[in-house]
Amino acid sequence: MAILYQKKGKITVITINRPDAFNAIDPETLEELNYAFADYNDDHEAWVLILTGTGDKAFCAGADIGKLVPVLQHQWVPRPWKMPVSIARGLDIYKPVIAAVNGMALGGGCELALGSDIRIASENASFGLPEVKIGLIAGWGGTTRLSRLIPPAKAAEMLFTGQPMSAQDALRWGLVNEVVPQAQLMSTAEKWAEKILAAAPLAVMAAKEVMRKGMNSTLDEALRLEWTKIGELFKKRLLRNAESRILLVNRKRLIPT
């Protein structure tokens, strides 16, 4: 299987599993990845996702040039194949996503990391958008997200030259949250997941939604959305408190005096 899907309690782990191809994405892998993201999004028992790749060389080397590019270049002419959605483009998941970047993250692999909320990198990880070297640009969110995560001058450097950024520089410029030895990568990602699980899941989802939508809104619009979400959370809290009181009263009625 090109995509491995594992559940560890409330933590879901999605692994891109094409190590012989540096976990590059072909059409079949893209389809499987789409289903995996949808399963996580729809699973009410899954609260945090860790996205990673198999092996210690590559998180994801981007598109499998020989298999995916010939399909993609026909997106702009009549053709039955439609590109599946993902966290990089087309799918809004308001549950948190942690990228455990275990090696090179190039092209679409870098864009999957950019589409995540928290990025933990191994010491040998690197991030790059080399599409300009083959006459294209990053088209899975890289050209738009990168300059929102790091200073525009550094984003321009990566986008215009196609040169990768090391894990250490990514930490320096705020692209990743932490850099750790390869052997500690997944355990560190799980520790971050546990920190998130210690918070209220609905509040975490609301915070992510406001943060993401606020980036594309005016300040006034973002503030209104923030206030709306606070109201929704208060209503849910009051409802839970009311339900708890009803259950308590019912239990007391069942206890003989």
- Single out the residue of 7, 28, 29 nearest to residue 16, CA to CA: 29
Whole-number Å distance between alpha carbons of 82 and 55: 30
Q: Which residues pair with 197 in a beta bridge?
A: none
Q: What are phi and psi of 225, to 5 degrees?
A: -65, -40
Q: Is 118 helix (H, G, I), strand (E, B) or coil?
A: strand
- Report the Cα–Cα distance between both ends of the chain, in Å, rounded: 61
DSSP 236: H
Catalytic residue among 31, 111, 190, 194: 111
Q: Determine whether 111 is an active site residue.
A: yes
Whole-number Å distance between alpha carbons of 126 and 190: 21
Catalytic residue among 28, 31, 32, 131: 131
Radius of gyration, alpha carbons of the chain: 21
Q: Determine whether 221 is an active site residue.
A: no
Strands 11-16 and 3-8: antiparallel
Q: Identify whether the C-beta of residue 176 lies closer than 8 Å to the C-beta of residue 120.
A: yes
Which residues are CB-contacts of 26 (< 8 A; sequence separation ≥ 6)?
2, 18, 64, 67, 68
Catalytic positions, please? Answer: 111, 131
